Amino acid sequence: MKKYLIYVLALICTALAAQAQSIKVNPTGVNVNSQNATVVFLTFGQLPAGYVAAEGMWCGRLIPAPPPALGAQCRPDLIYGTLPARYDLSQSSGNQGLTDIMSIPPSVTRRAYQTALNGGDAGFFYVRRFVSSTGLPDQYVNVTCRMSGGGARVPFALTNVEIRNGTSEPVLFVGSDERFAKLTAEIQYNGTGRLKGRWELVRPGEEPPSDFDLLPESSLPLEERNSQKRYLQIARFNHFLPPGGKFSLPLEVNGRLPIDAEGQYLLLLRIEAGDDKDSDSDLRIIGVGDSIVHSGAAAGFPMPVFKFFVSARPASLNWETDALILPASEFVLEGNQSISFQWQPLAGASLYRLELFNEKNVRVFAAILLAPITRYQSPSWFDKRFGGQRLNWQVSAIDDKGHSVNVTVPRILSAK
């Protein structure tokens, strides 16, 4: 009975401390995926002048913050994790407001899930501390996280995005008259909602996008959602994503891509804000606006960029003389350095044989790779074994019967 009274008194003190603080948040409670990462858009309001956001923490229980601090802080022995600095996307917004992307890692929900299995509370808390540059007391603001599945009642948000081109090559080289590769964006998500947006193309000579430009529109404050750089739109998409957690988004372009100029291109995936009730943030409740901010399809990270290079040479290149890409001719290998060998694919090749020869034309190294792989990373001992030598390297294309169908002209490689 005594322990129960102490617990009730602690809850009352926590509630009174929370009422004393001036900073508000919306939403105050959210459903989160109990088995995976969760991303939620939050809006804080009524920040007194001089207050800025400090660390964010997840914990299993709250206690009153020690005076003169206001609000309720995490109980030290029940802290599940802290918000990494690289995922801190908090930004000032409007009149005395601040937006925050709460990116809950799976490790936090696992801790909470284990606590629930052992008879503890199924929910947990996100606590953001605000500090004053003018010497006023710290303020702690918390959001209740209720564990559930990854279905319809969890805010619709992206937890991972990868762009794939169907090959193992990290960088794509194409001719200006070649058919562009088939691309897909492999998306992992929580909740359910409408994924809409566009593919944009950054052409040679244009200023590349910043991380701010690559964030989903719904990860930004309302007033900054039209301030991201815009590039040439080549396709649009609008898909309804049911509960399931995975979706493959293809690049569907009507006609040919505008890639006539030589140079580097960037393909951008731009995600627009979706209307999802569980992702809404009501500015009226916290006193910083008169509208509801729709934040469906938010993410706690910038969208990936697909880089490719265009060459003006025809698709029917001379493989013997033009196939070798990296390293460049007369490349000098420094100590403790790895080399990436790369070449163009050849139709009909089943295997590629990479060979290195010394100055006496004696083969000193060879590697066999299965097509369509056209890249080889040298082992860690490479520079130690061949230090001080002048080498030549070449690639042979071999068909399915073991016959060599073509061999590149050797290229010089110097190893200090």
What is residue 5's predicted lDDT score, i.e. its pLDDT? 44
Mark which of 288, 311, 334 sits at the end of a domain: 311
Task: Give the tens place of pLDDT for each residue, 62-72.
Answer: 999 999 999 99
Q: Are residues 192 and 231 in the same domain?
A: yes
Highest mean pLDDT of the ranges 64-68, 118-122, 360-364: 64-68
Q: Are residues 25 and 106 in the same domain?
A: yes
What is residue 12's predicted lDDT score, i.e. its pLDDT? 43
Q: Are residues 22 and 41 in the same domain?
A: yes
Q: Are residues 134 and 40 in the same domain?
A: yes
For residue 312, pLDDT over 70 is answered with: no
Task: Give the tens place of pLDDT for each residue, 37-88.
Answer: 899 999 999 999 899 999 999 999 999 999 999 999 999 999 999 998 888 9
Q: Are residues 141 and 63 in the same domain?
A: yes
Q: Are residues 89 and 178 in the same domain?
A: no
Mark which of 311, 341, 368 sits at the end of a domain: 311
| 352 band by pLDDT with thresholds 50, 70 and 90 | very high
Q: Are residues 306 and 382 in the same domain?
A: no
Q: Are residues 303 and 401 in the same domain?
A: no
Q: Which pTM value belongs to this model?
A: 0.68
* Higher-confidence position of 374 and 329: 374
Mark which of 293, 311, 329 sits at the end of a domain: 311
State how many domains the chain has: 3
Residues in the chain: 416
Percentage of the residues of the chain whose pLDDT score is greater than 90: 48
Q: Are residues 236 and 261 in the same domain?
A: yes
Task: Tell me if 196 sits within 8 A of 187, measured CB to CB.
Answer: no
Least confident of 21-35, 191-205, 280-294: 280-294
Show the domain range for 278: 157-311
- CB under 8 Å to 184, separation ≥6 — which residues? 163, 164, 166, 248, 249, 250, 251
CATH code at position 40: 2.60.40.10
Q: Are residues 257 and 360 in the same domain?
A: no
What end-to-end distance do the CA atoms of the chain give, in Å?
A: 78
For residue 212, pLDDT over 70 is answered with: yes
What is residue 329's predicted lDDT score, i.e. its pLDDT? 75
What is residue 11's predicted lDDT score, i.e. its pLDDT? 44
Q: How many CB atoms lie within 10 A of CB 198?
A: 17
Q: Are residues 360 and 246 in the same domain?
A: no
